Structure 1
Amino acid sequence: MFMALAFAARSTALRRVCALALVLSGSHVQGQSLNAPSPTAQASASGHKYPPVDERHPLAPALKLARASRKSLDSVRDYQCVFIKRELLNGAVVTQTMEMKFREEPFSVYLKNQEPNPGREILFVYGQNDNKLLAHEGSGLKSLVGTVPLAIDAPQVRAENRHPITEIGMRKLIDKVIAQWEYEGQFGETNVQYYPDAKIGGMSCPAIECTHPQPRRQFPFHVTRLYIDAQANLPVRIENYGYPAASGQEPPLVEEFTYVKVRTNVGLANEDFSAKNPAYKF
């Protein structure tokens, strides 16, 4: 359960941003558009161009924190972690926990399921294997089939994932949040709250919560929460909730992506993303 507390940041830079955040966090900006299109519109993380978000908008300080977190990823070449995702699929929330190896260049991902389907391995390297996933099951009759190449948008892949594997990783996560908030910052009906004492598994991860009281076509989610690791300043969780079906009901979880036990710049090599790695079972 979140508790709205005074935002007490540790660093001087963060305190400056949070001072502005506290002034704006409870505000509710009316109207359909805060900014008219401008020839100096900035490019968002997704490549779209929107006018700069007005400094009076509640999302302005939230975007500063998100962009600072993204900046912390500039020096990260690779990482290992445990990746946990919860997604609304076919009317039910499905949880998957995986060991993950990730490399920025070339874009490379190795996943090994802990649960469900323990032992399942997935490998994807952009530009290799015809840009297909390599997958195999860890046990059962399906494991006898061996390694199976799959298109990233194959029906059996989409059945278990809301997003393609090309959108995995902390950089993709924060890029999507920044692009979403840059767009939503052009409109009113936005409330922002800050939770400096939020934790993930005992790790301090201050959270930013953006809420839109009314469903509008420009707002894909009722609530978005971004968690940033207080020590490394890395974006380690995003939560997105839909609009409640009726007043007084809890908003339904749409998707949640969490990165824990993150170790950065461990020196991952080509072998870590090769089906020939003797430690793998491809």
Structure 2
Amino acid sequence: MDQAEVTNSDDIDLRPKRRRIVRIVLFVLLGLLLYGGWWLKNESARQQALIDAQKAREGGDFSDVELTGDHPLDQILPIVDGLIEDATAQIVDYTATLERTELIGDKLVGPQTMAVKVRHDSGKNTQNSSPFSVYVRFNSPKSLQGREVIWVEGANDGRMIVHEVGLLGFKRHVVKPDSLIAMFGSRYPVTDTGVIVLLQKLANIGRKDRSERSKDDVDVEIIDGVSSVGVQCKRFRLIHHEKAHEFDFHIAEVDLDMVRKIPVRYAAFGWPGESGEPVLIEEYKYSDVEINVGLGDLDFDPDNPAYQFPE
């Protein structure tokens, strides 16, 4: 048998192996495509449910709701209004550590910790105005450590700049804050970050309840001397007795640092599960808060040498 015949024989013997390898690769690719489609469908449904939940809890303008003093919420809404007024007037910017725990689908995710910098809108249409700006750097868990996000109102066509970790960390990603990718693993977009935004949302939720719920359906508890994230706080607890819609919470708690006049913790709980205890839906804690530290444009610039954004 000459050399050519041996070579042809070897090629024939290898063909079935090559076909098997090709089939395996095709099956793997098909599986990945199917999984990707399933994931996109489920993640889209989850995010749509969150949008529906937010509309159900906060939808509408209830700023003109009259407080007559005969409803449990009438005792706390003026306090929140005063805190918003004071914070808006006095807080220019701040840095903090944010710890969040959120129910994503049916899984409680967290706590995740991140360093945040927030600069509030200093006044539109003025020569020296600065827009609402947010910088976030994830410190934990390890799978997200080093992830960075910057969003500046009115810049980049309303998109945020993201430094992802892992395989996606080779470039800067510019995405809408409420896009599918940006919202993955989160209940709210980065535009909802900050203590003043939180106060504003609480005020609207409270007025919505004041407008739509009877006084017998709501209980309000005010607890003094609560230690929260290392500071003494006044805790406001709102209890719903009847579930108004599928996205309704049973209990909401806000811990207010009355010295600095800011919320340092917010938590919402759903109706009791099998254990008989209310189920945590979301919790946010702001610690190490430093107010009016003089944040500038560089703090919200991905080219800041202190940051790790790719070129």
The number of residue pairs the alignment matches comes to 236
Q: Report the CA distance between 1:166 and its aligned residue.
A: 1.5
For 1:71, the aligned partner's letter is E
Find the counterpart in structure 2 of residue 163 from structure 1: 188
Find the counterpart in structure 1 of residue 199 from structure 2: 174
Q: Which of the residues 233, 237, 242 maps onto 1:205?
A: 233
Distance 1:233 1:128 in 2: 30
Please state if 1:79 is matched with 2:99. Answer: no
Please state if 1:129 is matched with 2:144. Answer: no
Please state if 1:151 is matched with 2:154. Answer: no
Q: Report the CA distance between 1:47 and its aligned residue.
A: 4.0
Cα 1:67/1:219, change in 2 over 3 Å = farther
Q: Report the CA distance between 1:130 and its aligned residue.
A: 1.9
Q: Report the CA distance between 1:153 and its aligned residue.
A: 1.7
Structure showing greater Rg: 2
1:64-103 superposed matches below 5 A: 64-73=78-87, 74-95=89-110, 96-103=112-119
Distance 1:94 1:232 in 2: 30
Q: Secondary structure of 2:137's match? A: strand
Distance 1:202 1:84 in 2: 14
RMSD (CA atoms): 2.1
Q: Which of the residues 147, 150, 163 maps onto 1:120?
A: 147
Q: Is the 8 A contact 2:250 2:270 kept in 1?
A: yes
For 1:148, the aligned partner's letter is H
Find the counterpart in structure 2 of residue 3 from structure 1: none
Q: Which runs of 4+ in 1 moved over 6 A?
A: none
Q: Report the CA distance between 1:104 and its aligned residue.
A: 0.8
- Which structure carries more relative contact order (alpha carbon 8 Å, separation 6+)? 1
Cα 1:47/1:134, change in 2 over 3 Å = same
Segments of 5+ residues of structure 1 without an aligned counterpart are: 1-43
For 2:251, the aligned partner's letter is V
Please state if 1:51 is matched with 2:54. Answer: no
Q: Is the 8 A contact 2:229 2:286 kept in 1?
A: no
Distance 1:279 1:157 in 2: 23
Deviations along 1:219-244, one digit per CA (max 9) or x if unpaired, are 82111111111321212221111122
Q: Report the CA distance between 1:72 and its aligned residue.
A: 2.5
1:130-279 superposed matches below 5 A: 130-138=157-165, 140-143=166-169, 145-186=170-211, 187-188=213-214, 189-217=217-245, 220-245=248-273, 249-279=276-306
